[in-house]
Chains A and B, each alone.
Chain A
Amino acid sequence: MTFLQAIALLAVAAGGTAVVATRDPLRQVIVTGFFGLLLGILFFVFQAPDVALSQIVVGGVALPVMVLLTLAKLRERARSRADE
């Protein structure tokens, strides 16, 4: 195992812990996005650039956007309930 690979593995472990330790869903989405980018770097360092490309876009962009939109919808619903 090279030095870079060890660093990437440690960064992913720290990132995963950070996602679990974040309690507020909105902040958690952002942390999840960074965790996705870290996973992309991990795949790249382990010589899987094809997988890294998918991971960066899916984990760093597509997934956070979907969760963000869901959170926005839930917030809207809670607000319209409070209005009535």
Chain B
Amino acid sequence: MSRRTRLSLFGVAAVLLAAVLADGLGGLPAFGGYHGIYGILLSHVTVAQRRATDVITAITFDYRGLDTMGEEFILFAASLGLVVLLREQRDERRQPDDSPDQADDPDRYAGLPPHRPHTSPALIAVGRWLIGPVLVLGIYIATHGQLTPGGGFQGGVVLAGAVILVFVAGGRLATAPIRPTGAAEVLEAAGAGGYVALGFGGLIAGARFLTNFLPLGTKGSLLSSGTIASLSVVVGLEVAGAITLIVSEFVDQRLLTGRHQ
């Protein structure tokens, strides 16, 4: 195809796209205008019905709880697929692990090949200082989803962020004590299974799957909103496990070398 034909094709397509876009943008509601009846209704009845002060978490884990279960298993399946794809291949071999005391050894650059990655002392210091606060923040966000913005997904990702900080600041990527793959798999499975188990709790209580069967408690206290808080915590476990597993697999890949014939 000549340059001229391509340009004229592009011209026609651009004009058509501009026309469709202009038409679509013209039909948009005014900025901030919202007419969703379901949303307006839920923002009025949620606090009275479920004693949860964060309406968004109540929608995610109660009114649309089944959708959230589907989303949770999307992440579950994605991380499993990644583990299968990034397994150790036949022509790959594991590099010898970094020695455990490498991070604290001031002479560690000396004996290593020049392309060996090394962690700067400043990064180690800041990273180590941040691990604790990030861990606490993650637990807080995952357990207070029914009260304040946040919930299981956000808290779980923050928890996985703490694990990433361990990787970043530790300076010893593959040594046994902090290779969390096994723990991450257990966490992820417990979180995914826990959601389904809480769903069956509704059936055992004599209602439908994922019915909010636990006592609702007092509005604004930590143990309120029935199954919303529990579901948020199990999703936190699942997400923390899944993201940790994904990052660990990527880190493992970094340490595998192949022959690449």
Contact = CB atoms under 8 A, between A and B. Distances in A.
Interface of A: 1, 49-50, 53-54, 57-58, 61-62, 65-66, 69-70, 72-73, 76-77, 79-81, 84
B149 A50 contact: yes
B250 A65 contact: yes
Interface of B: 31-32, 54, 56-57, 115, 117, 141, 149-151, 153-154, 157-158, 160-161, 164, 167-168, 243, 246-247, 250-251, 253-254, 257-258, 260
B153 A1 contact: no
Contacts of B31: 1
Contact of A77 (B54, B56, B157, B258): B258
Contacts of B247: 62, 65-66, 69
Nearest to B95: A76
Contact of A50 (B151, B160, B167, B254): B151
Contacts, number: 61
Given A57-B154, A61-B164, A80-B260, A66 B141 contact: no
> Interface SS of chain B: helix, strand, loop or mixed?
helix
Contacts of A81: 260
Nearest to A54: B154
Contacts of B150: 49-50, 53
A1 B30 CA distance: 10
A69 B254 contact: yes
Given A50-B149, A69-B247, 11 more contacts: A49-B149, A50-B151, A53-B149, A54-B157, A58-B157, A65-B164, A65-B167, A65-B250, A66-B250, A80-B257, A80-B258
> Interface SS of chain A: helix, strand, loop or mixed?
helix
Contacts of A57: 154, 157-158, 160-161
Nearest to B160: A62
- With most chain A CB atoms within 10 A of its CB, the pick from B115, B149, B150, B258 is B149
A10 to B, nearest CB: 15
B251 A69 contact: yes
Contact of A70 (B54, B164, B250, B258): B250
Contacts of B164: 61-62, 65
